[in-house]
Amino acid sequence: DVKVTQSSRYLVKRTGEKVFLECVQDMDHENMFWYRQDPGLGLRLIYFSYDVKMKEKGDIPEGYSVSREKKERFSLILESASTNQTSMYLCASTSGVQPQHFGDGTRLSIL
């Protein structure tokens, strides 16, 4: 069974801080994704990666960056956190034409 693990379930940070959200998958998947989920808006794609050191912007990349130094790990970075980045963040992975599998999510609050 695919395992996508996000390092924190809940996280509280202050505005202006640099925030790192970590995601690890154990299925040797090439493709990894970061989404944010807000009530009434569904899930929106922030960034994705199809290989180590490769990244592509999704629909809402502003204010975020990513890092993929190893195949199994994909990090989302908030360079200078703002209150409008308070949200649920979901990581997902897939390989080829397989469906995406999601992690449990990180609920991030920016105060």
Partner 1 sequence: GENVEQHPSTLSVQEGDSAVIKCTYSDSASNYFPWYKQELGKRPQLIIDIRSNVGEKKDQRIAVTLNKTAKHFSLHITETQPEDSAVYFCAASIGGGGADGLTFGKGTHLIIQP
Q: For binding to partner 1 (CB under 8 A), which residues are involved?
A: 30-31, 33, 35, 40-45, 48, 50, 56, 58-59, 90, 94, 96-105
Indicate the helix (H) or strand (E) that contains 104.
none
Task: For residue 109, list its beta bridge partners.
Answer: 12
- State the Cα–Cα distance between residues 51 and 24, nearest whole angstrom: 14
The amino acid present at 68, given as its one-letter code, is R
Nearest approach in angstroms of CB 87 to partner 1 is: 14
